Amino acid sequence: MTEKPWQIVDVSAVAPLTDLEFIQFQKLMLEVAGITLSNEKKPLVAGRLTKRIRECGLSTFSQYLQRLQGRERGEELQRALDLLTTNETYFFREPKHFDFLSANILPHCRPGQGFRIWSAACSSGEETYSIAMTLAETLDYGCWSVLGSDLSTRVLDKARSGHYPLERAKDIPKPLLSRYCLKGIGSQEGTFLMDRKLRACTEFLQVNLNAPLPNLGLFDVIFLRNVMIYFSQDTKRAVVARLLPLLKSGGYFFVGHSESLNGITTALESIMPAIYKKP
């Protein structure tokens, strides 16, 4: 039997990600988000973007790159960033930081004086609400607020809802769980919701730490944890320099336990590993 001269095109097929295409994605992520994608991340990029490329009716990563770099790239670029940004987080991650906040910072707050904390890479909000629960244990409602920010609009939508699967509650201390979390019933069984009064003291905003910052005001404490591991040394210096003017004198700056500000800035003094203070 002779082969038919025409065949149906499989529009669902996406050509494999080439090395050259991956290099272009590396440059794009560094330019837009300050994120350095190591060569080992090539399978991750391919895995997370293939479905989206198919949804766009495209068949190659080069075609998708052209769309991301085109005139109307805004919305699609945000979709790509949402897919490529790693957002691993959980409640009360690195608990010694919350212990320090509770024992060493909050007791010095003056009654009635406003107190603000910025969770500068908040992901889906677990860190932000962990901070909020810690503050609510010591300070009166109305005297404090927490801003959570992230580059990804997808995770920010989750954070604003304050609604999580019940298995995410395992790291919340039981007294706080009973005071600030509402267990779902009926159609919401298997989930929990952060308390309304707690949510009223939190705000979530999209902020690109690698671009000029919006007018956010001043903060008593800034959490910038477990995000600089994705940045180059130069990007780390630029990001920290951008955030420091927003930290009050005497304010505290937290980074992740696997991170350090050595070689990044001399404007802060080290208090203990991963905790710094602005003179």
Cite the active site residues.
48, 150
Q: Which residue is associated with the tokens 């987080």?
A: 89
Separation between Cα atoms, residue 220 and residue 116, nearest integer Å: 5
Strands 269-272 and 275-277: antiparallel
Strands 181-183 and 275-277: unpaired
CB neighbour list of residue 3: distance below 8 Å, 6 or more residues apart: none
> Could you give the 3-state DSSP secondary structure of residue 213?
coil
Separation between Cα atoms, residue 109 and residue 13, nearest integer Å: 59
What six digits make up the tokens of 205?
A: 């905003």
CB neighbour list of residue 258: distance below 8 Å, 6 or more residues apart: 226, 229
**129 CA to centre of own chain:** 13
Q: Minimal CA–CA distance to 122: which of 101, 95, 150?
A: 150
The helix (H) or strand (E) run that includes residue 30 is helix 19-33
Separation between Cα atoms, residue 16 and residue 8, nearest integer Å: 20
Handedness of CA 30, 36, 39, 44 (dihedral sign): negative
Residue 130 burial (10 A CB sphere; 0-12, 13-18, 19+): buried
Separation between Cα atoms, residue 233 and residue 230, nearest integer Å: 10
